[in-house]
Amino acid sequence: MPKDFTTMEDSNRSSNPSIHEISDPARRIVLRGGVVAAMLPFLSSLAGCAGLPGLPAGGARPGFRSVPVTRADGFFVAEGYSAVPAFMWGEPVGVPGNMPAFRPDGSNTAAEQGTQIGMHHDGMHYFPLDGSRRGLLVINHEYTDDGLLHTDGMATWSAEKVAKSIAAHGVSVLEVEQRDGTWQAVRPSKYARRITAGTPMAIGGPAAGHGLMRTAADPEGRRALGTLNNCAHGYTPWGTYLTCEENFIFYFNGPETPDAHGARWGLRRNGRGYRWHEHEARFDAVRHPNEPNRFGWVVEIDPADPTMTPIKRTALGRAAHEGATVATTKDGRAVVYMGEDAQFEYIYKFVSRDRIQPGGFAANRELLDHGTLYVARFDGGGTGQWMEVRHGTRGLTTANGFADQGEVMVKSRQASDLLGATKMDRPEWITIDPASGEVYCTLTNNTRRGASGQPAVDGANPRANNSMGHIISWKERGDFDADTFTWTHFVMAGDPANTRAEARGDVKGDAYGSPDGLWFDSRGLLWIQIDAHATNMYQGDYAGVGSNMMLAADPKTGETRRFLVGPVNCEITGVVCTPDMRTMFVNVQHPGESPSDRSDPADPTKFSTWPSGVKGQRPRSATVVIRKNDGGIVGT
């Protein structure tokens, strides 16, 4: 990062609150403007937010020139900005006394990977320790490219390779700070931590101890091992991080013919080729049929306490969770919005029974274990209803295969099927407009919509063969705990000039397809990230639209501008700003990904050498630090 790439200092350097002090509801009214900005999505008075000091009131428009679509293997950001890759796969997180260096040939051991930043960065959040100068960056790691992870790829498997792949999954907790004009990881750090697919987890909520959660290794059904396929995320007003387990079922070996429960969740023989079950028996669902039930949850982590045991919150339901976005009702209860990233799956929200208490995680340790889960039904005419996913209601009874609330939570998909919830086109990230309280959700795509034997189009999902996706929004009829809502389409993605109706779209400004990541910043600017697989990134309908990019949109006019374009075949995902909004963190996932999702170990740089740009060096997922060259607010 250039020496002149500096940060505007906070005027109050002496004020240095901890994560939990910042998140304490009792302190919100006295916090400095930058911290208030970070907390806006969770304030109960969302609909009446006034402008923040130094920030424009009433939302914002993109204030930069669009970046053109390109196939070049680099990272390109809008004019007037600098972007520097940092916090890459394989760097040590900073655990004291255990900081092994990254080996570019893939020869790091499983034990070393267990204290290094994981692979394939996804959702993340910045928790301030010293305002916008120092904080904890918590990063999800969705999956692994084993062709890159190991020196000889996946030609053979061993217990060591499985252990290394397990260690490259999960979550990284990094202490980061601005030092000498650059953002750097603090190493060593008392906060540094890796949470992997082998880390012990507690199980909370109605499924804890349930028969469907018990295994030979855990006969009480209260202690799971690991979290995996960690996609999007959430963060709470009491200062904790929510990581979400998405396509967990791919890791399990199932029988040739699974039972109805396994089939509904996509269990199949050999999963998706991970072959972990050959050396880690718990991933063999033939031998351990309940082990898959212990995944698919939202996991709560206290980043300020590296000794805290992560907790799987079963009251929020089991799903291929994309994210968990938290709002607060006027009377102080937590509401968690969640999408399930799979074709024809559902949108959920959870409303806590109890109010958020001052005192951080210690005072709210069981808040997410008690409350009501709802699933959405989008009706015609732009109205909708939240239906309780609760045992004993609307047919969720023993006679229909739901013995108790724990079983309802384990079988959330089947329960939602029975309730008649609306099957959506891959609902992914959810975000809330800080000015209006309106909730937005990306529906990435669904090319099976309207196909023979598949669900037909409906009001909320109006396109057959929906290759380009859309963004839907809704407003609760009342507070965030309302039973009903009104909805509309924010945008049908695609190129307005496309001759094919399925891909035409009504985007104003720079066209895009397959919206995925979605985030409102505290000024009210909507950031949209794109997910189109390497096989279609620059082909067919995407030839002139492109992918691997992030755009900003004015929610009032719908005008969209392309802010950045990432390396070849990557996915841009995960975005957050420091409270002063003068630094943005964005993740680059799987640069150079091959169409098979697995790199060729004989030629691991076939598609990309980013971020090194050096021939022969493996591409690496990384967090990119973006700053405006004049030190101003990002996006203006």
DSSP strand pairing (427-432 vs 439-443): antiparallel
- Is residue 540's pLDDT more than 80? no
What phi and psi, each to the nearest 5 degrees, are found at residue 173?
-115, 115
414-434 average pLDDT score: 98
Q: Select the more confidently predicted residue: 59 or 205.
A: 205
Residue with tokens 């079983």: 407
- Is residue 85's pLDDT more than 70? yes
Q: Give the contacts of 85 (CB within 8 A, at least 6 positions apart).
A: 75, 588, 610, 611, 622, 623, 624, 625
DSSP 167: H
Q: Where are the alpha helices (DSSP H) in 279-390?
A: 360-363
What integer pLDDT is reported at residue 541 of this predicted model?
78
Q: Do 169 and 149 form a contact (C-beta atoms < 8 A)?
A: no
Q: Do 494 and 515 form a contact (C-beta atoms < 8 A)?
A: no
Question: What is the C-alpha separation between 460 and 470, in angstroms, rounded?
Answer: 10
What integer pLDDT is reported at residue 330 of this predicted model?
98
- Three-state DSSP at 402 gives coil
- The pLDDT tens digits for 504-528 are 999 999 999 999 999 999 999 999 9
259-277 average pLDDT score: 93
Q: Do 12 and 34 form a contact (C-beta atoms < 8 A)?
A: no
CA 627 to each of CA 124, 389, 552, 584: distance values in angstroms, whole numbers, following the listed order = 18, 44, 16, 7
Question: What is the C-alpha separation between 172 and 175, in angstroms, rounded?
Answer: 10
- Is residue 9's pLDDT more than 60? no
Query: In one letter, which amino acid is 509?
Result: G
Question: What is the C-alpha separation between 228 and 171, in angstroms, rounded?
Answer: 9
What phi and psi, each to the nearest 5 degrees, are found at residue 168?
-85, -10
Average pLDDT, the chain: 89
- Is residue 447's pLDDT more than 70? yes
337-363 average pLDDT score: 98
- Is residue 17's pLDDT more than 70? no
Q: Which of 4-18, 100-114, 569-583 has the lowest mean pLDDT?
A: 4-18
What integer pLDDT is reported at residue 35 of this predicted model?
30
606-617 average pLDDT score: 90
What integer pLDDT is reported at residue 272 of this predicted model?
80
Question: What is the C-alpha separation between 1 and 136, in angstroms, rounded?
Answer: 20
How would DSSP label each residue in 571-585? EEEEEEE-TTSS-EE
Name the pLDDT band for 312 (thresholds 50, 70, 90): very high
- Is residue 188's pLDDT more than 80? yes
Helix, strand, coil shares of the chain as percentages rounded to 5?
Answer: 15, 30, 55
What integer pLDDT is reported at residue 539 of this predicted model?
67
Query: In one letter, which amino acid is 537?
Result: M
Name the nearest CA neighbour of 467 among 445, 442, 444, 443: 445
CA 168 to each of CA 157, 175, 272: distance values in angstroms, whole numbers, following the listed order = 16, 19, 17
DSSP 92: B
Number of Cβ atoms within 10 Å of the Cβ of 122: 28
> For residue 176, what are its two tokens?
């980061």
- Is residue 247's pLDDT more than 70? yes
Question: What is the C-alpha separation between 235 and 344, in angstroms, rounded?
Answer: 26
E-only strand ranges, 131-187: 134-141, 170-179, 182-185
100-116 average pLDDT score: 97
Query: In one letter, which amino acid is 530?
Result: I
308-332 average pLDDT score: 98
- Is residue 266's pLDDT more than 90? yes
132-146 average pLDDT score: 97
Q: Do 535 and 597 form a contact (C-beta atoms < 8 A)?
A: no
Residue with tokens 């291929």: 320
245-259 average pLDDT score: 97
- Is residue 7's pLDDT more than 50? no
Name the nearest CA neighbour of 127 among 233, 11, 229: 233
Region label for 369, one of left (φ > 0), alpha (ψ between -120 and 50) or beta (otherwise): alpha
- Our CA angle for 17, 23, 24, nearest 5°, is 95
Question: What is the C-alpha separation between 350 and 574, in angstroms, rounded?
Answer: 23
CA neighbours within 13 Å on the CB side: how many for 128?
A: 26
Question: What is the C-alpha separation between 253 and 289, in angstroms, rounded?
Answer: 10
Name the nearest CA neighbour of 571 among 600, 592, 557: 592
What phi and psi, each to the nearest 5 degrees, are found at residue 176?
-125, 150
DSSP strand pairing (182-185 vs 170-179): antiparallel
DSSP 501: G
Q: Select the more confidently predicted residue: 545 or 121.
A: 121
- The pLDDT tens digits for 358-404 are 999 999 999 999 999 999 999 999 999 999 999 999 999 999 999 99
The structure's pTM equals 0.92
Q: How far from each other are the two terminal CA atoms of the chain, in whole angstroms?
A: 21
Q: Do 169 and 274 form a contact (C-beta atoms < 8 A)?
A: no
**pLDDT > 90: percent of the chain:** 80
- Is residue 22's pLDDT more than 70? no
Cis peptide before 68 (omega within 30 of 0): no
**pLDDT > 70: percent of the chain:** 88
Name the pLDDT band for 271 (thresholds 50, 70, 90): confident
Name the nearest CA neighbour of 581 among 623, 624, 549, 626: 626
- Is residue 28's pLDDT more than 60? no
What integer pLDDT is reported at residue 50 of this predicted model?
33
3-state secondary structure 245-268: ECCHHHHCECCCCCCHHHHHCCCC
- Is residue 43's pLDDT more than 90? no
- Is residue 215's pLDDT more than 70? yes
Specify the length of the chain in residues.
636
What integer pLDDT is reported at residue 605 of this predicted model?
79
DSSP 400: G
Name the pLDDT band for 487 (thresholds 50, 70, 90): very high
Name the nearest CA neighbour of 233 among 167, 170, 317: 170
